[in-house]
Amino acid sequence: MTRARKLRIAIIGAGASGIMALIKLREAGIEDVTIYEKADTLGGTWRDNRYPGVTCDVPSHGYRYSFEPNAEWSRVCAPGTEILDYLKDVARKHNVEASIRYGHEVTRADWRDRHWHLETSKGDQGAFDAVITATGILHHPVMPDIPGLDDFDGEAFHTARWKDEVSLAGKRVGVIGTGSTATQIVGAVVGEVAHLSLFQRTAQWILPLPQAPIPEEQKALYRADPALLEQEYQRISFENNSKFAAAIVGANPGAYRAMVTACEENLARVADPVLRAKLTPSYAVGCKRMILSDNFYEALQRPNAELVTEGIERFERDGIRTKDGRLHPLDVIVLATGFNTHQLFRPMEVTGRGGKTMDAAWAKGNEGYKAVTVPDFPNWFMIGGPNSPIGNFSWLLTAENQFNFALKLILKLRDGNVSEIAPKREAAQAFNEAVRAKLPDTVWATGCQSWYIDPHGNIASWPWTYEKFEADMREPVWEDFEVA
C-alpha cells in the first residue's frame, strides 16, 4: 500500500482564485500551503480597481464561489466594493490570511531535485512540491504610447492606480479609452464634472445592462430558501455559458442574432445621428469583449460630455492636443487604457526541466495544455493559463473548474509513487493545433484588434463551448501526462 506524501504547496496571488485554491486544498487534506501576495492586502482585481462606477459585468448571483452563496448582493450586477467585501468575508470565514505572506512578489521559480524553489522580493522561500499560479490577467496596466504625459500640469493616472484623494467635482476630465472601465467611469462621473471628454480610438458594441437594486423581499426569499439561491446561480450560469459563450464561438446562431439585435437597438437610443455614427463599430458584435452598460449612451448625450474621435497627438501642460491641432483643456486625465493580459505571472523568471525557461517556451506566444499545465514544467498548475475561457461570464466558475482539474493531478502526487507530473509534449501540441483549427469558427477571428489577441496574432481564449471546457476539466486524460 502506497503511503500518502505530505505535500508543501505554494499559491501565487491572493485574489479570488488564490483564496479559492487555498480553501479547496485544505478541504482535500493538504494543509502545508502558503499564498504569496505582492500587495499588502488580498483581493486582486477587485482590490486594484476601485475607480468610480466599477461594477462586475456578470449578474451578482452568478459571480460567486459555488460553495459560498450570498443572499445579500445589492444590485443585479454588484459594485466592485461589494465583491471585495465578499472575498474578505469568505477569507475571514476560512481563516485564509493565516496562510498569506503579504509583500512577497515571487521573482524566481526553479525546478531542481524534483521540487520548485521559490524566491520572492524578501528572499529564498525554500522548496515546494507544487506551485499554483493564481495571478489573474488584469494587473499589469498598459500606459498609452503618447508623448508628453509628464508635461501635463494636472493629475493623470491609470484606472488601476486610482488616486482617491483627487476630486473630480467641477473639473474638466479627459478619459482615454472606451472599454468596460471607461464606459463605467463615464456613466458614474459625468453628473459631477464640469466637462467630460472621452477620447475614443475604437467604438464598442454595448449590450444594455438591466442594472437595478435587488429588493429586500427577494433577499429575504434567498435567505430563507438556499435552493432558490442555487437555482438562480444555475440559471445565470446557463444563460452566460450555454447562450452567450456558445454564441461567440459559433455554436448558438440564434443567441448570436439576439445579441446583435440587442446591441443595435441599444445604439439606436443615441438621438444625434452624427454622434451615433461615431459610436457605431466597424467590426462584428462580440469580436471584442462585450461592454455592458445601463447609462453610457445617456451619459454621452449630456450637454457637458463630448466624444473625441480625432487621434491624440500629445499631452501638453494644459491638456491633450489632438491630431487636428485642437487643444482640449483638462484638469484631470484618466487613463482607461487596459492591461497587458498576456503577461500572466511574468516578469517572474520560471525555469523548468533541463534549464528550459518559460520565456523561451512562450517566445512565440503563450501555450499550454488545456490552459492549466505546460510540458517540461512539472507540478506547475495555472489558474488562468493560456486559452482559458475569458469574457462575459463568471471568472470564479472558470477558476474553480481549472483548480478541480489541477487538484486531480496534485492528488496523484500525494497518493502515489509520483514526484513529478507534466503533460506530454505531443499532447500539448495536439491541443494547441486543435485550438488553432477551431479559432476560425469564432467571432474573434472576424477581424478586429482586441486584448484577446496577443502580439504574435494568437487568440488567447477558449474556442469551444463552455460545456466542453467543463467536461475537459472534469477528469484528466491520464495518457496525456508523463510521471516520474
Q: What is the pLDDT of residues 293-302, one digit of tens each?
A: 999 999 999 9
Rounded Cα distance, 176 and 328, in Å: 12
**% of the chain residues with pLDDT over 70:** 99
Q: Measured between alpha carbons, how far apart are the two ends of the chain, in Å?
A: 18
**Which of helix, strand or coil describes residue 83?**
helix
Q: Is 475 exposed, middle or buried (0-12, 13-18, 19+ CB in 10 A)?
A: exposed
In whole angstroms, give the CA distance from residue 115 to residue 130.
7
pLDDT at 245: 84
Question: In angstroms, rounded to a whole number, what is the distance separating the alpha carbons of residues 93 and 244?
Answer: 33
Mean pLDDT value across the chain: 94
Interacting residues of 360 by C-beta distance below 8 A, sequence separation 6+: none
Percent of residues in the chain assigned helix, strand, coil, to nearest 5: 35, 20, 45
pTM for the predicted model, two decimal places:
0.95
Question: How far, in Å, CA of 34 to CA of 11, rounded?
Answer: 6
Contact partners, residue 37, CB within 8 Å, separation at least 6: 13, 14, 18, 100, 101, 102, 103, 104
**Cell (9 digits) for 82:** 461589494
Alpha carbon distance 11, 382 (integer Å): 10
Q: What is the largest CA-CA distance in the chain?
A: 79
Alpha-carbon gap, residue 385 to 402, rounded angstroms: 9
DSSP 138: S
Rounded to an integer, the average pLDDT of 450-459 is 81
Give the confidence band of 2 by pLDDT, cuts at 50, 70, 90.
Answer: low
pLDDT-derived band at 403 (thresholds 50, 70, 90) equals very high
Confidence of residue 5 (pLDDT cuts 50, 70, 90): confident
Residue 457 has pLDDT above 60, yes or no: yes
What residue type is 34 in one-letter code?
T
CA pair distance 244, 292, nearest whole angstrom = 13
CB neighbour burial string for 101-124, b if at least 16 within 10 angstroms, e if fewer: eeebebeebbbeeebbbbbbeeee
Whether pLDDT at 390 is above 80: no
Q: What is the mean pLDDT of residues 134-146?
A: 89
More confident residue, 290 or 218: 218
Looking only at the bridges linking them, the beta strands covering 481-483 and 421-423 are antiparallel
Query: Is residue 380 scored above 80 in pLDDT?
Result: yes
> What is the pLDDT averaged over residues 19-29?
98
* Average pLDDT of span 372-384: 97
Q: Residue 65 pLDDT > 90, yes or no?
A: yes
Helix 216-224 with 226-238: angle, nearest 10 deg: 110
Average pLDDT score over residue span 250-263: 93
| Angle at CA of residue 319, ends 317 and 322, nearest 5° | 120
pLDDT at position 3 over 80? no
Beta strand segments in 309-364, E: 312-316, 319-322, 327-329, 332-335, 349-351
Q: What is the pLDDT of residues 180-233, one digit of tens each?
A: 999 999 999 999 999 999 999 999 999 998 888 999 999 999 999 999 999 999
Give the CB-side neighbour count of residue 341, counting CA atoms within 13 A.
19
Q: Between these two residues, 460 and 229, which has the higher pLDDT value?
A: 229
Question: Which three three-digit cell numbers place residue 104?
Answer: 512577497
Q: Give the model's pLDDT for residue 29.
A: 96
1 pLDDT more than 60: no
Compute CA distances 142 → 145, 157, 183, whole Å: 9, 11, 17
Q: Is the pLDDT of residue 316 over 50?
A: yes
Distance CA(236)–CA(76), nearest Å, equals 11
**What average pLDDT does the segment 124-138 reach?**
94
pLDDT value of position 279: 98
Rounded distance between C-alpha atoms, residue 196 and residue 344, angstroms: 33
